Structure 1
Amino acid sequence: MNNPILDGLNETILKAMADMNVPGAQVAIIKDGKVIFSEAFGYANLDEKIPMTREHILPIGSSSKSFTAAAAMILASEGKLNLDAPVRTYMPEFELSDPIASVQATTRDLLCHRTGIPRHDLMWLNWDDLQRRDLAVNRIRHLKNSIPFRSGFQYQNHMYAVVGYLIEKISGKTWEQFVEERIFAPLGMKETSFRIPYPDESGKYARLYTPNEKGVNEENVPLVIDAMGPAGSINTTIDELAKWVAFNLNGGKDAENPLIDEALFKELHKPLIPYQILPFEFPELVSIGYALGWTVDSFRGHKVVDHGGNVSGGSSLISFMSDDHIGCAILTNANGNLFVNAVAMEVYDRYLGYAGQKNWFSAYQEGMNSLLAAMKGQLHAIYDTKIEGKPYSHTLEEYAGEYTNAGYGDIRITVKGDALHMQYHNNSLELKHLHYDIFTFELFVGPNPVSFATGIDGSIASLSIPFEPSVEPILFTRKK
């Protein structure tokens, strides 16, 4: 007998991949504890035309947060961690820029993004040798909050790194060891890792891609995010991820053996704070709240628990309707792509009897296109501010030097030819003069301004960059 969920699904997925520029994908559907669909599509390697298989390993990005939250809940089940006790109970050195948050913030606050600290992502991206302890103990206290503690939702990654470090302090194991021993092993998740090797001699990992301005997919060098691992470093296959979906649909049990106390497990999926991640909405899908490593929504009146992920060159989604005992997982080697969300909505529409009533792939693509256009316009507006004929006030050599910020680390300015060059962690960037002592550089999504400031002695004393737009520009003072 034909399954209405699966009829023609392969063809729908392949067409959507072509329309949404997705090189390769893996899709699994789980119903009543069984995998009813597990397929790979497209290419794992575009240059060599190597087909994507279910054995190719892909990054799950921020979907890793659900594992970190579960790891914390395992410690709570053992009575070693109280999610509502201040973090300082277990980590006296914990400190944030907000003194109230420093004293009162709990593990639950960190896991549901209500500390008041915005993303600050350009602090850690491409900082390959950043250490987790340094991040959790020394760096985060210097990251400014943009709203008061517990006053609202602000999605960010640093607090998950802190929770990972907290797990390490309590368990005596690294976060990676704890997740591997207490979650992966019991669930039989064997094809997993916490870093993508580059170059990959094994051929086990799919190549990762980002389209250029012409829409041509270009290969990404995988990010090294060891310090931020608990927020997004897990890599795996679709068949392994299906076991995680089944585990969550089964109430936190591996078969009949609970890994997490039943009452505490339910806490993982309870919405705690209103949230919004995507800046557009659909009438069929109502955002309810962020839980612990999961978002909770209502889709056509049915509760949906999920979490997406994106790293440079890969997008993922883990999703399930717990009351309906159905879920899915989608992995791709496409950067910043909402194909994964559209697949889940397509699957749920088929299950609920709404097949064909809405093209979720075009709906999500239109939303993404509008978002990207708005972002591009905002980012490139800086060039429109250029004042012609306004030179810089010093010789280029006088700008050269080492600059530092206690949270963001060091910047090195040098002169190369007739231009300034900036080394920021593993980012090597050319500075282009805008006007006066303002220069620009291109990093990730677009241009950023660098503003140099002169001290009372007439020499360059500092530079500032608006790395986090919701707070004042980040100030880097010149080293003596």
Structure 2
Amino acid sequence: MSAFKSKLSIKGIVFVLLFVLAGANIGGLYTTASAEASTSIQPVVESIDSLPDLNDTAELEAFIDGIMEIQMADMNIPGAVISIVKDGRSLFAKGYGYSNMDEGKPVDPEKSLFRIASTTKLFTWTAVMQLVEQGKIDLDTDVNTYLKEVKIPATYKEPITMRHLMTHTAGFEDGGVGYQITTDPEKLPVSITETLVKHRPARVMPPGEMIAYSNYGTALAGLIVEDVSGLAYNDYIQKNIFDRLGMKYATVQEPVPAELAPYAALGYARENGRYVTKPLTFEGGFRPAGSGSVSAMDMSRFMIAHLQRGRYEDAKLLEPETTSLMHSPAFQFDERLPGMNLGFYELRLNGQRIISHGGADPLFNTELYLVPDKGIGIFVSYSGGEGGAAASALSKAFFNRYFPIQESELPPVAVELEQDLEKYAGSYQFLRRNHSDIDKFYSFLAQISIGVADNRLVIGSGAEQQLFAPIGPNLFQAVGGTNQIGFRTDDSGNVTHFLMDFLSSEPLERTPLINRTMFWLPLLVLSFLVFVTILLGFIYRIRANQAMPKPERWTERLAAFTSAWALMTCAATFVIVLNMELVDRLSRITTALQVYLFMPILLVVLAVAMVLAAVWAWKKKYWTLLKRVHYTLAALAAILLSLFFYHWNLLGWQFG
């Protein structure tokens, strides 16, 4: 295994959980977990004389070539592209592998269009800021002021503003089962307005309270661009960003326009030892959140404009003041940790402040990193394979080489910080999740557990385990590393939220007991055992049952049928619902899912019948005492399982 695939540790755990979930600020006000000054470790840079020169493009190319060669072989990646800019110029751009394997067409950094998914949001946010500087949008005005047909209900006293949308603090729940994407180009184009009216998520948090990454919120911002400017979203982005910067190989149209279609990179999956072309996915009415297809060289122009205070050569994208505002923290979980800017999220790598945005769909993975203080921008995109892990590994390798740090000892901390760790232990769930629809079930397993051992917080297990030592109030640093995690507490000192610095757009909150995986799993296992024993007992006594009086015989048959049905329903839940392919899950309501949803409903009917039968069995003193207890346990297990399906929105057809 290559070195680039090691040391993912906690990041690997989190990305798996986010995949299960999938399907990822109030103006000027910094909310912090502590007013204490940060005691985090500051990176110690090696001697400047020993550092490689980033301006040495031949050396840079050899370095990137080495990484890409390993990644594409080890991570099943058929095509990739990268561009790096520095100080207002393109420093390096190169394609790897093929954009079309059947035609043997190599990736061209100038012309090959890669799907960039959520990185498209940066175009949407840039468009918003153009209208802000024109005075057509105010960041702190109720968005309903700008919307013509879509209206956001007044769930909370505070209205949602554009600043909330740009920092993902509007408070929307997440969702998408059956409608977020499509693989059928015949269904396009789709109206943004009609989509947002039809699929409106619930507001589940007051705006400005906490980050919950939202594709719906970004699509809403794109609709506001339409309603305020009078131009369709696609046309606005083309005219005011792509044309202005000379981005000839860039589009947010789906599918890509006919004149650009020959340059679009195909998506591949590895099957039976070979690459197989897969259908592209389209965002439809959610396109402001992820419909972009762009070449690496054109993304260089966009990066340079943002790094050069809004200008690319003679073209002006934004005013310098607007760019500075967009790149500044607009919401912070903790001022000692990376925060959310207006559209960009912050990262810290080797002591460098980075503003970034990634994007992923089933076939493409993209990352864009800007280092404003150094004038550096990196765009990388992969088609197929383990592109997400590859992008993370490449960025780490780049910063380790050109901005290396030496690991230093953790600073001494007050004894009381090490003695108060148990309050942080427990289960945490992502704020980005669904509450109202069938989508909720996909957060059942997407939780992170934190333990305590030897005065350290523990996340993960085995080779993936990572230890965090306290370095300040509510702030911890990885032992032997630089990653940090922070917590928020309420006025009583109880821990309420948790954030990892490498995932600043995805905070978590304490998992209530009723949502905890480890609350439900033991109960489900016990129910499973009860159902199995009921069935085995029925089979074992099948001849003896024939001699029973008819009421007793049918009461036993009810228990056996209910147990069998409950076991089949559990199996179908995990086979049909939880293991549904991501594309199927987000693009359509499958026949299998529609049929499956009858199963929990029938189970409820059977559970109620079993409860009534159990009462009757006790009243009439059927069988032995032990057998009546066993029957009652089966009835309670059926009720418990029904409550499980009810709680996780699997009871009925609850689609967003």
Task: Give the TM-score of the pair, scaled to structure 2.
Answer: 0.53
Q: What is the aligned-residue RMSD (CA, Å)? A: 4.3
Q: Does 1:195 align with 2:243?
A: no
Aligned equivalent of 2:170: 115
Matched residue type, 2:653: F
**Residue from 290, 298, 301 that aligns with 2:348:** 298
Question: Contact 1:383 / 1:434 at 8 angstroms: preserved in 2?
Answer: no
Call closer, same or farther: CA 1:161–1:474 in 2, change over 3 Å.
Answer: farther
Call closer, same or farther: CA 1:23–1:354 in 2, change over 3 Å.
Answer: farther
Question: Contact 1:68 / 1:230 at 8 angstroms: preserved in 2?
Answer: yes
More helix by share: 2
Aligned equivalent of 1:415: none
Distance 1:106 1:218 in 2: 44
Q: Does 1:345 align with 2:396?
A: yes
Distance 2:92 2:128 in 1: 31
Question: Contact 1:392 / 1:435 at 8 angstroms: preserved in 2?
Answer: no
> What does 1:350-389 correspond to in 2, within 5 Å?
350-353=401-404
Distance 1:37 1:228 in 2: 33
Alpha-carbon deviation of 1:84? Answer: 1.1
**Residue from 600, 609, 631 that aligns with 1:438:** 600
**Residue from 245, 258, 268 that aligns with 1:209:** 268
Alpha-carbon deviation of 1:315? Answer: 0.8
Question: Contact 1:269 / 1:296 at 8 angstroms: preserved in 2?
Answer: no
Q: Does 1:307 align with 2:367?
A: no
Call closer, same or farther: CA 1:211–1:354 in 2, change over 3 Å.
Answer: farther
Call closer, same or farther: CA 1:33–1:302 in 2, change over 3 Å.
Answer: same
Question: Contact 2:309 / 2:324 at 8 angstroms: preserved in 1?
Answer: yes
> What does 1:230-309 correspond to in 2, within 5 Å?
230-274=288-332, 288-309=338-359
Q: Does 1:167 align with 2:225?
A: yes
Matched residue type, 2:254: R
Alpha-carbon deviation of 1:146? Answer: 3.9
Question: Contact 2:170 / 2:208 at 8 angstroms: preserved in 1?
Answer: yes
Q: Does 1:177 align with 2:241?
A: no
Distance 1:323 1:98 in 2: 41
**Residue from 191, 198, 201 that aligns with 1:131:** 191
Aligned equivalent of 1:63: 119
Distance 2:373 2:223 in 1: 34
Q: Does 1:319 align with 2:379?
A: no
Distance 1:316 1:263 in 2: 28
Give the aligned length. 401
Question: Contact 1:330 / 1:340 at 8 angstroms: preserved in 2?
Answer: yes
Call closer, same or farther: CA 1:269–1:472 in 2, change over 3 Å.
Answer: farther
Call closer, same or farther: CA 1:27–1:124 in 2, change over 3 Å.
Answer: same
Distance 1:25 1:120 in 2: 30
Alpha-carbon deviation of 1:237? Answer: 0.8
Matched residue type, 2:156: I
Task: Give the TM-score of the pair, scaled to structure 1.
Answer: 0.71
Question: Contact 1:86 / 1:105 at 8 angstroms: preserved in 2?
Answer: yes
Which runs of 5 or more structure 2 residues have no equivalent in the other structure? 1-52, 407-462, 465-516, 536-559, 564-583, 609-641
Matched residue type, 1:232: G
Aligned equivalent of 2:622: none
Aligned equivalent of 1:73: 129
Distance 1:305 1:427 in 2: 37
Aligned equivalent of 2:139: 83
Distance 2:211 2:651 in 1: 22
Alpha-carbon deviation of 1:93? Answer: 5.1
Which runs of 5 or more structure 1 residues have no equivalent in the other structure? 277-285, 356-365, 368-377, 394-421, 440-449, 457-463
Call closer, same or farther: CA 1:145–1:201 in 2, change over 3 Å.
Answer: closer
Q: Percent identical across equivalent pairs?
A: 22
Q: Secondary structure at the match of 2:237?
A: helix
Question: Contact 1:113 / 1:156 at 8 angstroms: preserved in 2?
Answer: yes
Q: In terms of mean alpha carbon deviation, does 1-10 or 160-169 score higher? A: 1-10
More strand by share: 1
Alpha-carbon deviation of 1:354? Answer: 5.7
Distance 1:219 1:391 in 2: 45
Call closer, same or farther: CA 1:115–1:215 in 2, change over 3 Å.
Answer: farther
Alpha-carbon deviation of 1:52? Answer: 2.3
Distance 1:290 1:337 in 2: 21
Call closer, same or farther: CA 1:451–1:328 in 2, change over 3 Å.
Answer: farther
Aligned equivalent of 2:82: 27
Question: Contact 1:391 / 1:435 at 8 angstroms: preserved in 2?
Answer: no
Aligned equivalent of 2:653: 476
Distance 1:92 1:303 in 2: 39
Q: Secondary structure at the match of 1:126?
A: coil
Call closer, same or farther: CA 1:246–1:391 in 2, change over 3 Å.
Answer: farther
- Residue by residue over 1:270-306, the C-alpha shift from the partner in whole angstroms, topping out at 9 and shown as x without a partner, is 2233479xxxxxxxxx951122221112222221011
Call closer, same or farther: CA 1:107–1:300 in 2, change over 3 Å.
Answer: same
Question: Contact 1:114 / 1:149 at 8 angstroms: preserved in 2?
Answer: yes
Alpha-carbon deviation of 1:135? Answer: 2.6
> What does 1:402-413 correspond to in 2, within 5 Å?
none
Call closer, same or farther: CA 1:330–1:38 in 2, change over 3 Å.
Answer: same
Call closer, same or farther: CA 1:48–1:433 in 2, change over 3 Å.
Answer: same
- Residue by residue over 1:203-242, the C-alpha shift from the partner in whole angstroms, topping out at 9 and shown as x without a partner, is 3211112456x78654321112120110000101111111
Call closer, same or farther: CA 1:451–1:260 in 2, change over 3 Å.
Answer: farther
